[in-house]
Amino acid sequence: MTTVLSSHESAQIDAQIQVHRDKPGALLPVLHAIQDTLGYVPEAAYPQIAHALALSVAEVHGVVTFYHHFRTHPVGKHVLQVCRAESCQAMGAEKLEAHIKSTLGIDYHQTTADGAITLEPVYCLGNCACSPAVLMDEELYGRVDSQKIVEIIHEARVAS
């Protein structure tokens, strides 16, 4: 579903395009910059991006949807990424995942009703000596258990 961009959003997107458009292979830097600014890459921005980089809208769509990192919909105030990879599994990540989902009342790729937290799976955060690991926005946590995750979620909610 394509919604219309506000003129403010459109200007923000254009500003990011201008910063990065002359780099070789500019599309990923442009998409990162837009997602860093707006929290996601709106589908309505595809024509604007495509035009600036001399690409087709289909190419932009193809790239955005290929990469797990890019989102086409707004997210909550905070994004909680939970590692599902082997090292974390060896330390009880599966139980932790179930606990987080029931605590937040949502599944992966969903946002809590209050708009505070979006839950995403991730495959390795490079914190494998201290599994299981989660990343709240850019804050990494290790040896996370059912009690610690409640504190992490609480802190994020208080901060927002």
Partner 1 sequence: MIKVFVPRDSTALSLGADRTAKAIAAEAQKRGIEIELVRNGSRGLFWLEPFVEVATDKGRVAYAPVQPKDVPSLFDADFLHAGAHPLNLGLTESLNWLKKQQRLTFARIGITDPVSLDDYIAHDGYKGLANALKMSGADIVKTVTDSGLRGRGGAAFPTGIKWNTVLNSPADQKYIVCNADEGDSGTYSDRMVMEDDPYVLIEGMTIAGVAVGATQGYIYLRSEYPHALKVLNEAIEKANQAGYLGDNICGSGKAFHLEVRRAAGAYVCGEETSLLESLEGKRGLVRFKPPLPAIEGLFGKPTVVNNVISLATIPIILDKGAQFYADYGMGRSRGTLPIQLAGNLKQGGLVELAFGATLRELLYDFGGGSASGKPIRAVQVGGPLGAYLPESQFDTPLDYEEFSKLWAVLGHGGIVAFDDTVDMAKMARYAFEFCAIESCGKCTPCRIGSTRGVEVMDKITSGKDHAKNIQLVRDLSDTMLNGSLCALGGMTPYPVLSALNHFPEDFGLNKKEVAA
Binding residues (CB under 8 A) for partner 1: these are 24-29, 31-32, 53, 59, 62-63, 66-70, 81, 85-91, 122-131, 133, 135, 138, 140-143
Least separation in angstroms between CB 56 and partner 1:
12
Contacts of 157 (CB under 8 A, 6+ apart): 116, 117
The minimum distance between CB 116 and partner 1, in angstroms, equals 20
The nearest distance, CB 144 to partner 1, in angstroms, is: 9
Comparing CB distances to partner 1, the nearer of 96 and 133 is 133
**Whole-number Å distance between alpha carbons of 141 and 7:** 38
The pair of three-digit structure tokens given for residue 4, joined into one six-digit string: 């219309």
The least distance separating partner 1 from the CB of residue 68, rounded to whole angstroms, comes to 4
Q: Which of 132, 65, 124 is nearest to 98 (CA)?
A: 132
- Residue 122 φ/ψ, nearest 5 degrees: -145, 150
CB nearer to partner 1: give 114 or 155.
155
Q: Which of 148, 147, 149, 144 is nearest to 127 (CA)?
A: 144
As measured in angstroms, the least distance from the Cβ of 29 to partner 1 is 7
The smaller minimum CB distance to partner 1, of residues 88 and 104, is found at: 88
Whether 130 and 142 have beta carbons less than 8 Å apart is answered as yes
Closer Cβ to partner 1, 114 or 137, answer by number = 137
> Which residue, 24 or 105, has its beta carbon nearer to partner 1?
24
Per the listing, tokens 């330390």 go with: 91
Contact 133, 127 (CB under 8 A): yes
